[in-house]
């Protein structure tokens, strides 16, 4: 799996959009970008994933650059409950149980 | 739908003692994973099962760690004897399996182990 680079920590004001960047310059053509988050004292939780098109679900939006070397996870209206560590992971998708390789992630603090 | 269940949630032991953790995956999920998460780091995969067979145990310290999933459902992870550096959260995750195109991993709450 390709490696990813994320900032160690970020702050965001409650109600504002949180934009979490991720660099994955060595990503290969058949690798997806996945985002998980881990709220304190809980297991990681899947958020979203994408290949090259932008994706949106009820939790977040994922913007992937045209060259696929970086991406941004957007939480449109951050709440205190979004305070967590966010992991950007590059992995294969589709049929098969491809493993997740976690880095240290970005600790997002949502400030009241 | 019930999530991944793990027990106990917390365990404190002395070094050289033994400890076992239990995991019950989401019903119907063929693939089960055990991760170790040391404080301040992301989870690290220890072992992956597909039904009751081992897919990958390359990062499992086999001199002291063992895991089984005898009937392809529940799983146990054992440490014997424990060392101070085994203090961590042990996470269990499950996913539908190798033949499913939707294969996200669902994690349990973890077991926090403290070795004194």
**Dist. CA A2–CA B46, nearest whole Å:** 19
Predicted pLDDT of residue A62: 98
pLDDT at B72: 85
- pLDDT at site A94: 62
Per DSSP bridges, beta strands B111-115 and B88-95 are antiparallel
Grade residue B104 by pLDDT with cuts at 50, 70 and 90: confident
Chain B interface, mutation test: which of A6, A32, A97, A103, most B Cβ atoms within 10 Å?
Answer: A97
A9–B contact, CB cutoff 8 A: no
Q: Does B110 touch chain A (CB under 8 A)?
A: yes
Give me the residues of chain A with pLDDT under 70, please: 1-2, 93-97
pLDDT on residue A96:
59
Q: What is the mean pLDDT of residues B27-55?
A: 93
State pLDDT tens for residues B56-69.
Answer: 999 999 999 999 99
Predicted pLDDT at A97: 59
**Predicted pLDDT at A92:** 77
Convert the pLDDT of each residue in A64-84 to its tens digit: 999 999 999 999 999 999 999
Q: Closest CB to A94: pick one of B33, B91, B101.
A: B101
Give me the residue from A49, A98, A105 closest to B42, CB to CB.
A105
Query: For B28, left (φ over 0), alpha (ψ -120 to 50), or beta?
Result: left
Average pLDDT on B64-75 reads 93
The pLDDT of residue A22 is 97
* Rounded Cα distance, A99 and B25, in Å: 17
Q: Pull the structure tokens for residue A16.
A: 């504002």
CB neighbour list of residue A33: distance below 8 Å, 6 or more residues apart? A22, A24, A27, A49, A50, A51, A62, A64, A68, A71, A88, A89, A90
pLDDT grade for B1, boundaries at 50, 70 and 90? low
Residue B6: predicted pLDDT: 98
**Residue A9: cis peptide before it, omega within 30 degrees of 0:** no
Burial A63-78 (b: 16+ CB within 10 A, else e): bbeeebebbbbbbeeb
Give yes or no for B58 touching A (CB within 8 A): no
Residue A94's closest CA among B98, B3, B10?
B98
Q: Are B108 and B6 in contact (CB under 8 A)?
A: yes
Nearest Cβ partner of A96 from B4, B98, B109? B98
Mean pLDDT for all residues in chain A: 92
State the pairing for strand pair A18-23/B75-79: unpaired
Interchain CB contact of A7 with B (< 8 Å) = no
User: What is residue A24's predicted lDDT score, i.e. its pLDDT?
Assistant: 95
How big is the A-B interface in CB pairs under 8 Å? 60
Computed over every residue of chain B, the mean pLDDT equals: 93
What pLDDT is attached to residue B52? Answer: 86
Q: Residue B85 in 3-state DSSP?
A: helix
- Chain A residues whose beta carbon lies within 8 Å of the beta carbon of residue B100: 95
């Amino acid at each position: 799996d390709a490696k990813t680079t994320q900032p160690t920590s970020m702050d965001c004001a409650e109600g504002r959009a949180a934009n979490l960047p991720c660099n994955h310059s060595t990503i290969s053509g058949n690798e997806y970008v996945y985002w998980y988050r881990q709220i304190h004292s809980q297991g990681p939780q899947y958020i979203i994933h994408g290949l090259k098109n932008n994706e949106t679900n009820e939790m977040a939006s994922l913007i992937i650059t045209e060259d696929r070397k970086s991406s941004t996870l957007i939480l449109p209206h951050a709440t205190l409950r979004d305070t967590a560590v966010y992991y950007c992971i590059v992995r294969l998708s589709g049929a098969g149980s491809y493993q997740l390789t976690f880095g240290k992630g970005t600790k997002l603090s949502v400030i009241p | 739908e019930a999530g991944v269940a793990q027990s106990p949630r917390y365990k404190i032991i002395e070094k050289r003692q033994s400890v076992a953790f239990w995991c019950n995956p989401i019903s119907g999920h063929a693939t089960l994973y055990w991760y170790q998460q040391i404080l301040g780091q992301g989870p690290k995969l220890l072992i992956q099962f597909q039904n009751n067979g081992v897919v990958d145990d390359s990062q499992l310290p086999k001199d002291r760690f063992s895991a089984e999933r005898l009937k392809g459902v529940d799983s146990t992870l054992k440490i014997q004897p424990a060392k101070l550096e085994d203090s961590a959260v042990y996470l269990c995750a499950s996913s539908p399996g190798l033949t499913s195109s939707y294969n996200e991993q669902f994690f349990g709450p973890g077991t926090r182990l403290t070795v004194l």
